[in-house]
Structures are given as C-alpha cells and as structure tokens.
Amino acid sequence: MVYCQGCPWRCCYCHNPHLLPGRAAGGSAWSEVLGFLRRRRGLLDAVVFSGGEPTAQPGLARAMRDARALGYRIGLHSAGIYPRRFAEVLPLVDWVGFDAKAPFDAAYERITGVRASGEAALASARALLASGVDCEFRTTWHAGFLSPAELERLTRTLAELGVRRYALQEFRASGGAGFRPEGGVVAADLDVLKRRFAQFSLRRA
Ligand code: SF4
C-alpha cells in the first residue's frame, strides 16, 4: 500500500488526518518507493495507491506506469475528488475501491465540508462504471452523520448507476481526528440494501 499525501476535503470522520496536508515531513520520495518495489519483484503482486487522495498527485499516472512496468498489478483507493485525473488513470488500474460518502447532493458537502464535492464524486463514479474496471463502492456509515434515509437514497442511486459490489463500513470511533458522532449506529434496513447489489458486505466497526 502506498499512502499518498494530500486531500482537499475535510470529512468529519477522516481516519488519516495526518495525510491531509499536501506536504509533510517523514515521507518517502517516489524514487525510494520504486527502489523498494524493484527489490520486492516476485514477492508482491500489487501496488495499491491510497491516501489521503491519490488523485491529488500530478504524478500519479507516471507512478502507476512505473509500477506496471515492474509487473505489478495496480489498485486505487479514491473518493473521486479530481474527476479528470481519476479518468486519466483508469486505463492503468486493475481495481478501484471507491469511497461513496452520501447522496450526491448537499449531503456530500455536509460530510466533506467542500462545495460541489458530490458533483465531482458523481462524475468520477460514472467514469469508473463506464470503464468496466473491477471495483467496489463503499460507504463509511454512522447514523450520526448520514441518516438511514440518506443511506437508502445513496444505495438506490448507486444501484441505478450500475454498481454491483457494495460494502457498508460502520464508522469506527478509534483513531482519526477524534470525531465522535452522537448516538449509536442505528440499524439500517440491510435486507433492502442487500437486494440492490450482486455482492453486498457489511463491515462491522
Ligand atoms: S476524502 Fe478521504 S482522505 Fe480526504 S478527508 Fe475525506 S476521508 Fe479523509
């Protein structure tokens, strides 16, 4: 897993706040990561770019090409924040874990703190589904920041867009920026959600 520094969104539940600034001390240059990957050829199968938000990196496509040239398969964790760069790297990836946060409207802005974030995420989600790249959509969920009705609306939209694999990840209070939503995780109607997707997983906190 390669954790990329930088993300312009400020999700209330972010578990990697130290990765949000564009620059930070203590990271590794891509040349060092590449050296590591050269030494591990034959021992590792894949490189997954995660973050932060990997599409915040102008050099993401080049890094993916470098890793592919060494024979690695490529994974990407993304919230689809930069639709153009996201679409640019899709031909280079074998698998995408797509973070879908809320219905693609004002609810998105409430989670991310950024205007029009839902529009960007929706554009990227459409590009991903049109590409045919293997993918899983996932949502971090707690009724303290996303109501059961909003979750219902989001999953209905995703199913209509053509999402086949979906994971609901219960919010974990450990780590992150100390965010603690009020109340407990209210049970959603999981049977309804499950029926919407060919594959459905519930990841308990
Ligand atoms: S998009 Fe991901 S990395 Fe960025 S703030 Fe939200 S949870 Fe954190």
Kindly state if the Cβ of 7 falls inside 6 Å of ligand 1. yes
Asked if pLDDT for residue 183 goes beyond 90, the answer is: no
Residue 190 pLDDT class (50, 70, 90 cuts): confident
Kindly state if the Cβ of 108 falls inside 6 Å of ligand 1. no
Return the pLDDT at 143: 84
Kindly state if the Cβ of 75 falls inside 6 Å of ligand 1. no
Q: What is the Cα–Cα distance from 77 to 97, expressed in whole angstroms?
A: 5
Q: Give per-residue pLDDT as tens, 88-113.
A: 999 999 999 999 999 999 999 999 99
SS3 of the chain: the string is: CEECCCCCCCCCCCCCHHHCCCCCCCCCCHHHHHHHHHHCECCECEEEEECCCHHHCCCHHHHHHHHHHCCCEEEEEECCCCHHHHHHHHHHCCEEEEECCCCCCHHHHHHHCCCCHHHHHHHHHHHHHHHCCEEEEEEEECCCCCCHHHHHHHHHHHHHHCCCEEEEEECCCCCCCCCCCCCCCCCCCHHHHHHCCCEEEEECC
Kindly state if the Cβ of 53 falls inside 6 Å of ligand 1. yes
Instruction: Name the residue at shortest CA distance from atom 6 of ligand 1.
Output: 11
Kindly state if the Cβ of 89 falls inside 6 Å of ligand 1. no
Kindly state if the Cβ of 98 falls inside 6 Å of ligand 1. no
Kindly state if the Cβ of 52 falls inside 6 Å of ligand 1. yes
Return the pLDDT at 33: 96
The least confident of 13-22, 62-71, 129-138, 150-159 is: 13-22
Structural domains in the chain?
A: 2-203 (3.20.20.70)
Q: Give per-residue pLDDT as tens, 10-46.
A: 999 998 899 999 888 888 999 999 999 999 999 999 9
Ligand 1 pocket test, pick from 19, 53, 99, 117 with the greatest ligand atom count within 8 Å of Cβ, gives 53
Q: Give per-residue pLDDT as tens, 140-179.
A: 998 889 988 999 999 999 999 999 999 999 888 765 556 6
Give the atom of ligand 1 at the shortest distance from the alpha carbon of 79: 1
Q: What is the Cα–Cα distance from 144 to 21, expressed in whole angstroms?
A: 26
Query: What pTM did the predictor assign?
Result: 0.94
Asked if pLDDT for residue 191 goes beyond 90, the answer is: no
Ligand 1 pocket test, pick from 4, 11, 110 with the greatest ligand atom count within 8 Å of Cβ, gives 11
Return the pLDDT at 14: 93
Return the pLDDT at 180: 67
